[in-house]
Amino acid sequence: MQEKGLTIGALTLAAGLALGLPAAAQQAADTLAPEIGSGSGERTVVPAKRQMVAAANPLAAEAGTEVLRQGGSAADALVAVQTVLGLVEPQSSGLGGGAFLVWYDGESGEITTFDGRETAPMAASPDLFLDDEGEPLAFFDAVIGGRSVGTPGTVRLMETVHERYGALDWADLLAPAIELAEGGFAVSPRLHTLIANDRGKLDQEEAARAYFYDADGEPLAEGTQLKNPEYAETLRAIAEGGSEAFYTGEIAEKIVAAVQDHPSNPGLLSLEDLAAYEVKERPAVCAPYRGYDVCGMGPPSSGALTVGQILGMVSHFDLAALGPDDPETWRIIGDATRLAFADRGLYMADSDFVSMPQGLLNQNYLESRAALLRRPTALGEDEVEAGSPPWDKAELRMPGLEPERPSTSHFVIVDKDGNIASVTTTIENGFGSRQMAAGFLLNNELTDFSFAPESDGEAVANRVEPGKRPRSSMSPTIILEDGEPAFALGSPGGSNIIPYVANSIIALIDWDMDMQQAISLPHLTNRFGTYAVEAGTPAEAFADELEALGFEVDITDLTSGLHGVAFTPEGLEGGADPRREGVAIGD
């Protein structure tokens, strides 16, 4: 093991990534060539002096970088990155989904957040995901079709942020995605694999089957030039008419028809729901950690609160001295994560609908929770339960059933003026609801609500309610030191997003790793009792030791998509997750 901790031994980035890339993206991919398939290479941080994009696909990163080179702001580049991502990795995010943005203003030094989360239709009720017998539906019985589709927020988020912070013309920012959609892009190895693995779901829906599979019903092969003229048409309408062209008129009608007219699982989304959608600007939730301020999204995200709780508990232990190679480190982090998830399950939901404890990040409370970790072995199942933080008129709720699945995407943009956008964006499950409308996939975000609206006669915090936003684990993060940016990062991965981000922060701060080392660090996560250990990495060596400490262990794939930027005296350092096909590009 290396001096700075565990490293990924075999990168999952597959050969062929460079197919069809523009010149700068081709160059970015070529720098990874020694690592592709070799099992011996190791990514290093990408340096830059003044601006950077780190995103999950080279085409998207290049589109954002070109916007910055034309004098655009991070808000401008956000539009280009998101619209290209929605085309080239449609399984993860897009116009039919939602996003959270944490924004740092380079001039004022202030952090704010924008909530572009999907909302439940006004016709929705708490029993949305119950069957005729009053029992929760099986996950994919709920997902596939119109029932799971919430009002998308991404388009309104892009426009809101552009109006506030943009410098370039709105229509010009959509041009890269339009050009790619009309001219075609190469199907990446990852997209091919995901299409193939989703047989039996994605190919059951006519529009999706026609787009993602060939005439023989086979998944599109790697390198296939895929065009999406309908997506280009949608973007042209948005370029001309702004978000109103999406939330009203022909595009909105196509969305509602796809949802309401599904033959076996229709949904409730209406034209009125679309027309009424609003992005909400909310104050950032910031938690202290060893002299840093770790800032992110508050409710309806559970991200910043849960990450902050984990960091607040482990701050009472000398993780720097223990290091990443000591099983004791992972006992402390794992059980801190379990305790934080117990609070998350009971208390956290859309705070516009549910009164939450005001003391979840109270330092005395977290110190009392940390005291539970001062023991030689893992906490028993009956010892992991929600605590009693200071309340301040909170409502007592019950934990619920939310089978949150990993998908999503994260990107970070830094512009020449010091503005930072840390964005986590999603359609929830891979390929969302499997419904396509106007050239893009629709989300299944409503399945992030609890399927069961009550437990033991008490209401569940994250129950379905009309107009409510489902609880999320998305954790876009910006970290300050003495008021100045130190790191910006985030990840996809369902509820594993939270430990992915928390563990990376610990790696950056306690173990002095650079951004790429922290991102490439093998994953060990424990949310609900079983310790997930990333298969095929040196982390597998911990399995026996974790079991000896009393944990049940599951060696499994843990496909994060961490992307981040560190701010150093020399400039910027970007990192991209080797488990996906992203890159960092900077000037």
Q: Distances in Å between the alpha carbon of 62 and those of 161, 176, 292, 489, 523?
A: 20, 10, 31, 19, 28
The residues pairing with 472 across neighbouring beta strands, listed in sequence order, are 301
Sign, CA dihedral 345-351-355-359, equals: positive
DSSP state of 122: T
Q: How far apart are CA 186 and CA 178, in angstroms?
A: 15
| SS3 assignment, position 488 | strand
Q: How far apart are CA 560 and CA 523, in angstroms?
A: 9
Sign, CA dihedral 52-56-58-60, equals: negative
- Measure the CA dihedral 74/443/89/55, to 10°: 30
Neighbours of 5 (CB within 10 A): 20
| SS3 assignment, position 228 | coil
* Contact by Cβ (8 Å): 4, 517: yes
Q: How far apart are CA 323 and CA 300, in angstroms?
A: 34
Tokens of 521: 């660090």
Sign, CA dihedral 202-204-207-212, equals: positive
DSSP state of 548: H
* Cα 567 from chain centroid (whole Å): 22
Strand 225-226 to 583-586 pairing: unpaired
Q: How far apart are CA 113 and CA 351, in angstroms?
A: 15
| SS3 assignment, position 507 | helix
Q: Which amino acid is at 77?
A: A
377 as an active site residue: the answer is no
* Contact by Cβ (8 Å): 161, 78: yes
Catalytic residue among 83, 337, 408, 477: 408
Q: Which amino acid is at 363?
A: Q
- Which residue bears the tokens 């991070």? 74
The residues pairing with 576 across neighbouring beta strands, listed in sequence order, are 563
Q: By CB neighbour count within 10 A (0-12 exposed, 13-18 middle, 19+ buried), where does 49 fall?
A: exposed
Q: How far apart are CA 45 and CA 86, in angstroms?
A: 26
Q: How far apart are CA 227 and CA 186, in angstroms?
A: 9
Comparing CA positions, the residue from 504, 557, 554 lying closest to residue 530 is 554
* Contact by Cβ (8 Å): 270, 122: yes
- Which residue bears the tokens 């690592």? 35
> Which residues are identified as catalytic?
408
